[in-house]
Chains A and B, each alone.
Chain A
Amino acid sequence: SQTIHQWPATLVQPVGSPLSLECTVEGTSNPNLYWYRQAAGRGLQLLFYSVGIGQISSEVPQNLSASRPQDRQFILSSKKLLLSDSGFYLCAWSLTLGLAGGSYNEQFFGPGTRLTVL
């Protein structure tokens, strides 16, 4: 079965410090991968998605970046954190349409990382 991991679970960082959040997926190959941010009491905002190694699409301009160095690894980074970067970050995966139909269209989410920037 497929599983998705995120770490760290919780992170407190000072303004201006760098950031690296990691997401890995097990039990599947060539998944689509996604990074979302959820501000307190709000919905999910799509930040980045990737359909393959080295392929990153950005949804919103920001001081964050994403990379996919391996098929099942997705990393969210920042060189200098801002106060507004605080939030709950969720990684998700899905199968590419056409490789599996039916119930595999939805996205499966990791446990999330709570980031507080002070």
Chain B
Amino acid sequence: AQTVTQSQPEMSVQEAETVTLSCTYDTSENNYYLFWYKQPPSRQMILVIRQEAYKQQNATENRFSVNFQKAAKSFSLKISDSQLGDTAMYFCAFMKHSPNNDMRFGAGTRLTVKP
């Protein structure tokens, strides 16, 4: 079974600074997908960024980028130029290549951006 570990329950960062959230996973699969979701106080789950395991290039979305290390089974999220609106719970998720598309989520990291 696949497991996803987020070792940082809480983190904080000053506005405009950079922060990195950690995620590791355990799988024997070779073909899979990784995601970071954001859950603000409204509790709506919002996709931040995704990475296909077969792609070596790290995904980027504006201020958000990942450091995908397949051999180490690591998938960290870097948020640059942090904004107050980035304050949220961040969940790392793993999905193996299957018709079900079912995801496994980490326990989450609560990020607070301080003014």
Q: List 8 A-B contacts (CB under 8 A).
A: A41-B110, A44-B105, A49-B102, A59-B102, A97-B98, A106-B47, A106-B95, A114-B43
Distance (whole angstroms) from the CB of B105 to the closest CB of chain A = 4
Q: Using Cβ atoms and an 8 Å threshold, which residues of chain B touch A24?
A: none
Give complex CA distance A105, B97 in Å.
9
Judging by beta carbons under 8 Å apart, are A43 and B106 in contact?
A: yes
Q: Using Cβ atoms and an 8 Å threshold, which residues of chain B touch A109?
A: 37, 44-45
Give complex CA distance A98, B98 in Å.
10
Judging by beta carbons under 8 Å apart, are B91 and A43 in contact?
A: yes
User: Is A63's beta carbon under 8 Å from chain B?
Assistant: no
> What is the total number of residues of chain B having a CB less than 8 Å from a CB of chain A?
23
Judging by beta carbons under 8 Å apart, are A90 and B101 in contact?
A: no
Q: Using Cβ atoms and an 8 Å threshold, which residues of chain B touch A46?
A: 102-104
> Which residue in chain B gives the minimum CB-CB distance to A92?
B45
> What is the total number of residues of chain A having a CB less than 8 Å from a CB of chain B?
28
Q: Using Cβ atoms and an 8 Å threshold, which residues of chain A touch B97?
A: 97
Q: Which of B33, B91, B101, B107 contacts A32 (CB 8 A)?
A: B101
Judging by beta carbons under 8 Å apart, are A34 and B102 in contact?
A: yes
User: Is A51's beta carbon under 8 Å from chain B?
Assistant: yes
Distance (whole angstroms) from the CB of A47 to the closest CB of chain B = 11
Judging by beta carbons under 8 Å apart, are A111 and B99 in contact?
A: no
Judging by beta carbons under 8 Å apart, are A98 and B99 in contact?
A: yes
Q: Using Cβ atoms and an 8 Å threshold, which residues of chain B touch A44?
A: 91, 105
Distance (whole angstroms) from the CB of A6 to the closest CB of chain B = 11
User: Is A65's beta carbon under 8 Å from chain B?
Assistant: no
Judging by beta carbons under 8 Å apart, are B43 and A43 in contact?
A: no
Given A42-B107, A43-B91, A97-B99, does the pair A90, B50 have CB atoms closer than 8 Å?
Answer: no
Judging by beta carbons under 8 Å apart, are A32 and B100 in contact?
A: yes
> Which residue in chain A gives the minimum CB-CB distance to B110?
A41
User: Is B75's beta carbon under 8 Å from chain A?
Assistant: no
Judging by beta carbons under 8 Å apart, are A105 and B45 in contact?
A: no
